[in-house]
Structure 1
């Protein structure tokens, strides 16, 4: 039985897709691999640089007894894990679910470009260039790069990584059987969910409260996953108004629950939802309002689309992801 070390930035009870993913691997592959999870949270209280050095030391010593190192991001855990793998000559895999340099640029350094524009443009900010250099180096040094969508494969190839090194494995979605029941305060419940980051477009959704006082608009952020899912299930419509999604996990969850969706027409969103959602241009408040009004006026048609879309979500079932991942790891 192969021994797999997983280096992760977050881990339950922390909230987020990577935390859910690592728990799914840990539980779902335990009969096929001996798994050790190394959490960045164990060193996050230390100063910058020091915590990365400490994390490198932890990964290095734990990797002595493992066959494969899998890092779940290319910077915080990816860079220390890469150095540990090189020193020990162990196979190294990095999973990439977004462009860290772009995300930091938008949040901290005034970047206003879309990701598609960003990856094609020479950046001048020294910090952004440093992040780009790190993530490209880690992806280049990895034996394999894992991505959850064709869109992210194209992003990573823009970094100069050859196509044959990149493997696409869909993320999985599991829905608990007994979700809490949410009662609507108004007739039309609009829900969105995710991290409070600039590209999620929450402000445009919240702005509709003034012009549509009969709508109950709920933005769920930083809450336990079951609470988020219960709001999604109760909603008349789930909105994903983001400028960018590498893999729109929340969209898959909403569609698996049979909730009608409105989403921006980014490539990743359209790959997931196909013809079973209403799509709008990013940063178009009028189009967002019109799409929501359409669902409010014709909920039967919206529910019919949602039920058909629910069938499409079977490709994201957990067992399929686990089987594909196990086969991939066995091939390393």
Structure 2
């Protein structure tokens, strides 16, 4: 790179006291950039809670902090990197319009698939941000296609760069040792899901598939790990588990990345049944731990699962059960998935992808004069 750039990162997701996993992928990238000696500041939302009072408070505080940085230090930044298009990208535009600061926007999926579809205002603002950004990064190929076609963004200023897997953390372990480390029985076949415990992650279909599989596989158990985002949905899940006597379904709170990595290495199959997924980094992390992955055929997961996982039809419990059963019943398939998953993890190593991001930082040059 040429002259060292001063970078400001804006994100509406970032780990904090309330949650160590909220937007952890953004923090991982930030820390990796800092490790390369770059002068970088972060202004982010650290509170994952979604009730109306929490949302109003956290976004108001975030806005105030951005305004303070804008007024006191705005001129010093050469580049603003906004994670999630709206509203992060909108705040980034303030710096571009006032100080000529260059802007990189990373679209993660929900900002394009959900936020932009909430109404005309959100679509218009999303389009404005994407078109006025100096560079747009999408975490998946389908996402980039949507950005260039639906929002009419010049494809020459777009790139596909996912957040990458930290292979220093997510690495293979001996399966037996990993099971002992997290307290899993060696005799059980363990399915693992890690992510937000919300309906959109396909958890009701996962429970239905597990119920079906359990009838012919009594040694099967299911572990769900992640933060509760919606108490009403959580109660619905617990009621279903209790009512249908699913005694070997276990719900775990969020854990730090090192613990998650051990759980992934211990699991026999990792399942990601999302209704939509910009990339599906968590599936890549499981592959990096040499655990076979079964996932819904949506968004960025479609790319990830090519040869390295078993896809199934989204929102279809029977299709999910069939996919899991294929993996359970074939040692040869599991070995193939582990081998191809290792290759996919190597291709998407965080450090390699960071090189690509640094090239973009370099390519768009310094602050406009």
Shorter chain as denominator, the TM-score bin is: 0.7 to 0.9
In structure 2, do the counterparts of structure 1 residues 73 and 276 end up closer, same or farther at CA, with 3 Å as the change threshold?
closer
In structure 2, do the counterparts of structure 1 residues 198 and 155 end up closer, same or farther at CA, with 3 Å as the change threshold?
farther
C-alpha separation between the residues in 2 aligned to 1:262 and 1:49?
Answer: 36
Matches within 5 A, 1:226-265: 226-265=258-297
Instruction: Tell me the equivalent position of 1:194.
Output: 195
Instruction: Tell me the equivalent position of 1:80.
Output: 91
C-alpha separation between the residues in 1 aligned to 2:33 and 2:39?
Answer: 11
1:207 aligns to what SS in structure 2? helix
1:238 aligns to what SS in structure 2? strand
TM-score (norm 2): 0.76
C-alpha separation between the residues in 2 aligned to 1:17 and 1:220?
Answer: 13
Q: Does 1:289 align with 2:294?
A: no
In structure 2, do the counterparts of structure 1 residues 330 and 18 end up closer, same or farther at CA, with 3 Å as the change threshold?
farther
Cα deviations across residues 131-178 of structure 1 (Å, max 9, x unaligned)?
222222211221111112211101212122221221222321014269
Cα deviations across residues 48-79 of structure 1 (Å, max 9, x unaligned)?
77446414413413332111111111123222
1:303 aligns to what SS in structure 2? helix
Determine which of 131, 134, 140 is the counterpart of 1:149: 140
Q: Please say if residues 14 and 27 of structure 2, whose CA atoms lie closer than 8 Å, have aligned partners that are also in contact.
A: yes
1:276 aligns to what SS in structure 2? coil
C-alpha separation between the residues in 2 aligned to 1:99 and 1:209?
Answer: 27
Instruction: Tell me the equivalent position of 2:248.
Output: none
TM-score (norm 1): 0.84
2:184 aligns to what SS in structure 1? coil
Instruction: Tell me the equivalent position of 2:43.
Output: 38
C-alpha separation between the residues in 1 aligned to 2:343 and 2:134?
Answer: 35
Q: Does 1:8 align with 2:11?
A: yes
**Deviation, structure 1 residue 16:** 4.8
Instruction: Tell me the equivalent position of 1:304.
Output: 336
Number of aligned residue pairs: 311
Instruction: Tell me the equivalent position of 1:113.
Output: none
1:37 aligns to what SS in structure 2? strand
In structure 1, stretches of 5+ residues that fail to align are 105-118
**Deviation, structure 1 residue 32:** 4.3
Tell which has more relative contact order, 1 or 2 (C-alpha 8 A, sep 6+).
2
**Pairwise CA RMSD:** 2.6
Cα deviations across residues 279-326 of structure 1 (Å, max 9, x unaligned)?
211122112112212222223431332223212321111221222211
Instruction: Tell me the equivalent position of 1:114.
Output: none
